[in-house]
Structure 1
Amino acid sequence: MKQFLLFGLICLAACQSTTSNDDQALQKPPYAVWTDSIRQFPTHSNYFFERGKLFSQNNDSAHAVRDLEKALSMADEADYALVLSSFWLDHGQPDSARVVLGPSLARFPYNQLLRRNLLMSFYGEGRFDEAMKINDTALRYDSASSGNWYNRAMVQDAMKDSTAALRSLETAYRLDSGNATIAYELANRYADAGNATALSLCDRIIRRESKGQPKPDPFAIKGIYYANTGHPAEAVAAFDRAIAVDYTFLDAYLEKGILLYKQHKYAEALKVFDLSTSVDNTFADGYYWTARCQQQLGQLKDARLNYERAIAFDKHFTEAREALAKLDQADRK
């Protein structure tokens, strides 16, 4: 905790050392227009705010935090507090975010976006009890907010209360059935549980999206449901449909390949995983499962190479490291 605060102080000190409008960065596009406006109207907080957002978008943290802090010090606006607290959360400094959010929520207690950032400041630290208390308050202010119920499900999941999380998601969906994020999450839950409601919900999503650009997700979710309920042919067909809608949708390749692998159809599964890594040659999961198939087919040299590729693209891929170690151990015998 102390190291977060120390970093924040160092960052702010660095920012303060470059606050002059003579700073070269401020005179260059795309910031120069805002710098000129600030020079002409130095009491207009929104000019600092807009320039700060621009710096943030371009990953210039020192200038961004300086301008965002300046804007908030000039005018206690909810939008200013929201962007600045989001900046601190994105940079792994929840304490700094809470310093911003406390006074702003006292002034804007009904602002659910500010309250969500406060919740996330605790959630990101694994302080789920405190995050839940924030959500309790949010629901007291607005129990008809689908976002509040979605956030509740997220925290309940983290607290290993999947039953309560499902109920919260169902409430969120009843309040806002048109929200794609909520609909997909709920459908996934049903599919994982083998609940046939997943199919009707996915069909509803597909009908709604048919008027625009179709997405592969509902077809893949149907595939997961079929795979979990012992209908492999229907599952493969659903995964193929997802890939046809979007050939870059890697989850569909992964789910299809794993299903074939579990059926001991290693050669067929290998073709699927080969396709996935041709679509994205940095896809660590694709290389890992390619290696699993090759190992089953006795192609141990190729399997070793693909385990190494999986690790190269995901340094924290524990399963790939363990599989490679077992291959090495077998070679030494």
Structure 2
Amino acid sequence: MRTYILTSITVFALVTLFSSCGSNDQKQAANEVAKKDEIPAYVTGLKKAVALQPDSVGLRLKYVTALDSIGQYKEALIHLDTLIRKDSLNYGLWFTRGQIEEDAKDSASAERSYINAIRIYPSPDAQLALANMYAEQKNDKALKICNRILDMGLGREYDAHCNFIAGIYHSRMKHIAEAVKLFDQCIAADFTYMPAYIEKGLVYFDNKQYDEALKVFQFASSVNNLYADAYYYIARCYEMTGKKDSAIMKYQQSLSLDKNLTEAREGLKRLGE
């Protein structure tokens, strides 16, 4: 359960690029309805609107984002490619293509799309999206990109992103001390950078240091008491240390904050709830 990582790094760029393309509420509604093998009404509405105005770039982008939100990646890419054929030097379109391909678990294609976007306009956002993907692949190109962005002196927000991604790389490489140091640097730059707390705690958790992990997750829940992942991982620590009742309570608390947190439901099933 580490799917939040990509979101935490790349969404900040898309928010500024295509803020009108779809809200979190729409995505949540889409996810809920998609489970019933139905297409949400707002998606079918956009499909009809695109059919009536096929030359509207804004409408097609909204439709692409909606399709991505319900996991219809192939269809989303077909429509996005229609736009790219008309405007192949549009940085934002290539950047979006990379994100959809990454959502679809097509890392090779995502890498090519991010590189195309960067060639058109070497924005820090696109470079960090590529670096994040490299970090998960244990590719040290991630560190080179992060160091380059840090040298640009863009401010604390980008410093936090760079340190987080570098921390991901070292975490995946099992460089425990270096990973913890970088996550701490990320948190120092942005106290509310919640994925950094989770990843720091997971460094300890994966090393079976459950007491240390628990401290980090509990602190994360005090920083943001509405962050479902923090309670989920608190529950995981309790479960691993045999504290069944406490684990059940925290799994339930995480689900009360995010009813789509299937891992928490699975935890409750393991514990007989």
Alpha carbons 2:132, 2:165 under 8 Å: kept: yes
After TM superposition, the score normalised by the length of structure 2 is 0.76
For residues 133 and 318 of structure 1, what CA distance do their matches in structure 2 show? 30
Confirm whether residue 282 of structure 1 aligns to residue 226 of structure 2: yes
Tell me what 1:146 maps to: 91
Partners of 1:199 and 1:300 lie apart in 2 by 40
Residue 139 of structure 2: aligned partner: 195
Matched pairs, number = 241
CA distance in structure 2 between the partners assigned to 1:221 and 1:85 by the alignment: 26
Q: Which amino acid aligns with 2:219?
A: L
* Counterpart contact for 2:124–2:149, Cα < 8 Å: no
The corresponding residue for 2:180 is 236
Aligned residue number for residue 30 of structure 2? none
Offset at residue 99 of structure 1 (A): 4.2
Q: 1:151 to 1:255 in 2, by over 3 A?
A: same
Deviation, 1:225, is 0.2
Give yes or no for contact 2:198–2:220 (8 Å, CA) kept in 1: yes
Is 1:94 aligned to 2:43, yes or no? yes
Larger relative CO (CA 8 A, sep 6+): 1 or 2?
A: 2
- Give secondary structure in 2 for the equivalent of 1:281: coil
Give, in whole Å, the separation in 1 of the partners of 2:122 and 2:236: 40
Distance 1:119 1:311 in 2: 29
What's the counterpart of residue 184 of structure 1?
128
Residues 51-92 of structure 1, C-alpha deviations (whole Å, 9 max, x = no match): xxxxxxxxxxxxxxxxxxxxxxxxxxxxxxx999979x9595
Question: 2:250 aligned with 1:311, yes or no?
Answer: no
Show the 5 A alignment for 1:1-333.
Answer: 92-102=41-51, 104-106=53-55, 112-120=57-65, 122-124=67-69, 126-180=71-125, 182-208=126-152, 210-215=153-158, 216-328=160-272
Name the SS for the 2:80 alignment partner: helix
Q: How far 1:127 moved relative to its partner?
A: 4.4
- Deviations along 1:111-132, whole A, 9 cap, x unmatched? x444423433554565444433
C-alpha spacing 1:313/1:99, structure 2 compared with 1 (3 Å): closer
* CA deviation vs aligned residue, 1:220-256 (integer Å, no higher than 9, x gap): 1110000111211100000011111111111001001
TM-score (norm 1): 0.64
CA 1:117–1:179: 2 relative to 1, 3 Å? farther
1:240 maps to a residue whose letter is: D
Decide whether the 8 Å contact of 1:285 with 1:310 is kept in 2: yes
CA contact (8 A) 2:22 2:66 kept: no
Distance 1:225 1:105, change over 3 A: same
Change in Cα spacing, 1:92 to 1:253, as seen in structure 2 (3 Å) is farther
1:85, 1:101 within 8 Å by CA — same for their partners in 2?
Answer: no
- Residue 27 of structure 1 is matched in structure 2 by none
The residue type paired with residue 135 of structure 2 is A
Query: Take 2:51 and 2:90, find their aligned partners in 1: how far apart are those partners?
Result: 21
Deviations, residues 245-270 of structure 1 (Å, cap 9, x unaligned): 11111100100101101111111111
Give structure 1 stretches of 5+ with no counterpart.
Answer: 1-81
Q: 1:206 to 1:294 in 2, by over 3 A?
A: same
3-state secondary structure, aligned to 1:93? helix
Q: Give the superposition deviation at 1:293.
A: 1.6
SS in 1 for 2:271: helix
Q: Is the 8 A contact 1:86 1:117 kept in 2?
A: yes
Tell me if structure 2 keeps the 8 A contact 1:206–1:214.
no
Higher gyration radius (CA): 1
For 1:132, the aligned partner's letter is: L
Inter-partner Cα distance in structure 2 for 1:269 and 1:230: 16
3-state secondary structure, aligned to 2:201 = helix
Indicate conservation of the 8 Å contact 1:287/1:310, yes or no.
Answer: yes
AA of the residue aligned to 1:175: I
Asked whether the equivalents of residues 202 and 219 of structure 1 are also in contact (C-alpha less than 8 Å), the reply is yes
Question: In 1, are the aligned partners of 2:21 and 2:66 still within 8 Å (CA)?
Answer: no
